[in-house]
Amino acid sequence: MTELGGQLLQGFDAALTVGNVLYCLLGVTLGTLIGVLPGIGPVATIAMLLPTTYGLPPLTALIMLAGIYYGAQYGGSTSAILVNLPGESSSVVTCLDGYAMARRGRAGAALGIAALGSFFAGSVATLIIAVLAAPLAALALKFGPAEYFSLMVLGLIAAIVLANGSVIKAIAMIALGLLLGLVGTDVNSGVERFSFGIPELSDGFGFVVVSMGIFGIAEIIHNLEKNEQRDIFATTVGRLLPTRDDFRQSWKPVLRGTFLGSLLGILPGGGAILSSFASYTLEKKLAKDPSRFGQGAIEGVAGPESANNAGAQTSFIPLLTLGIPPNAVMALMVGAMMIHGIVPGPQVMTERPELFWGLIASMWIGNALLVLLNLPLIGLWIRLLKVPYRLLYPAILLFCCVGIYSVNQSALELAFAVGFGLLGYVFIKLDCEPAPLLLGFVLGPLMEENLRRALLLARGDALVFLSRPLSAFLLFLALLLVLALVIPNIRKTRDQAFQDS
């Protein structure tokens, strides 16, 4: 514990500089803003902002991007409660009871318990990251190429199992992501693959180009189809501080939501979304009167909001300790680290401790700033909800184009991004979730590298993946997940859960 305390002090020393605090404030403010405004989302926003991080110190850039992610979880509850539109996908469940509370004149209590529960869950989840970081990183240092390959296989299969919608479509998205990751020069032979003689493709598709096209431009096109009419039921929210009875009904759901979110947030593909649905289901099952849910039960706000914030925080654990992104946002964080020449993985803790612990410490700072932002500025967020999207999208599109062009000053990369944007729009129309594609795109080259390295060290013996105990165990877990998809009852339960959501 003494060592952990010293490491956290080192982290706070790195995070509490004027520049880092200001960028943390900027990140959580942007996160809250895009959470409040339905239809943008943290993935698209982080993808758009990646080019702006080139001129920032690595820690400052990561602090800002992380703040956008967990800030969006806070902001998403505001539009869910006031407009019955989830600003962020993990806030879908909050609409059920949050909007019902607003209709009964209790919007303030719903917003207050959402903010306080989120702050508690985020703080506890950050403590869990700090406690688990060192032992997990030590374990990860024992990983060889075979173990890393098997871990990535497990992660991709888990992403398929937990992806929303069709399993076949999720597999297709991951396969397409893996194929896109193959474009460029083969590291071992120096031969260009699938570049079609285009010089700009000799290094493969740029991470910023793919992510900004698939998520940023595609979301803009998709949102232009939507009806802009927003019925803001509560223009005045009343008392923000929950009553004593509200606290009495909420403290257990907050604790349970924090525990569930902290656990499920580590899983690939699940994270905050899976956590919020699991928490709502659990609270409804434990309630003495389940019929209250959907009619304005405060537990239906407190539990899921705590769970999605805890899940958002603990999804950093696989990224920081193993270098494996569990969801699309963490894949973007991997991209941000690579932009700054940082290889994600356990070596970051030993080689860049100020960055590792500084990022963890900044999460406490960010969660405190979010409480100060969300409650006093609720009137501002209400006014922003009235801004028509047709006034926002030209500025967002211009920002995307400037960001893409500024990376390599390449007009062709801008054209590629537009192409990926159109492709992303097609995916949306076909109900294909694009997040697995980004995971496949990021993990594909790493999987290939570790596969080749493991086979090279084993002199071509493919049994090396089964002869090493840890690698065999990870592949066994992957096989269990595949079997779980094949078993009809389990697959029916999975599909029913997503239909209910």
Query: Among 80-94, 102-116, 417-431, where is mean pLDDT lowest?
Result: 80-94
What is the number of domains present in the chain? 1
The phi and psi torsions of 30 (rounded to 5 degrees) equal -60, -40
Other CB atoms within a 10 A radius of the CB of residue 445 amount to 16
- Domain assignment of residue 185, given as a range: 2-500
| Amino acid at position 481, single letter | L
Question: Can you give the pLDDT at residue 501?
Answer: 46
Which range has highest mean pLDDT (47-61, 129-143, 371-385, 461-475)?
461-475
87 vs 223, residue with greater confidence: 223
Q: Exposed, middle or buried by CB within 10 Å (0-12, 13-18, 19+), for 307?
A: buried
Give which of 315, 310, 271 is closest to 122, Cα–Cα.
Answer: 310
Strand partners, 193: 184
Can you give the pTM of this predicted structure?
0.76
pLDDT, tens digit (0-9, with 9 covering 90-100), for 98-143: 888 888 878 888 888 888 888 898 889 888 888 888 787 777 777 8
Give the 3-state DSSP-derived string for 103-127, with helices as H, strands as E and coil as C. Answer: HCCCHHHHHHHHHHHHHHHHHHHHH
How confident is the model at residue 222, as a pLDDT?
80
Quick one: pLDDT at residue 82? 78
pLDDT of residue 13: 92
Rounded mean pLDDT of 194-206?
A: 81
Q: Which of 186-195, 266-275, 282-291, 381-390 has the highest mean pLDDT?
A: 282-291
pLDDT for the residue 103: 80
Whether 424 and 217 have beta carbons less than 8 Å apart is answered as yes
Count of C-beta atoms within a 10 Å radius of residue 200: 17
Which pLDDT score is estimated for 227? 62
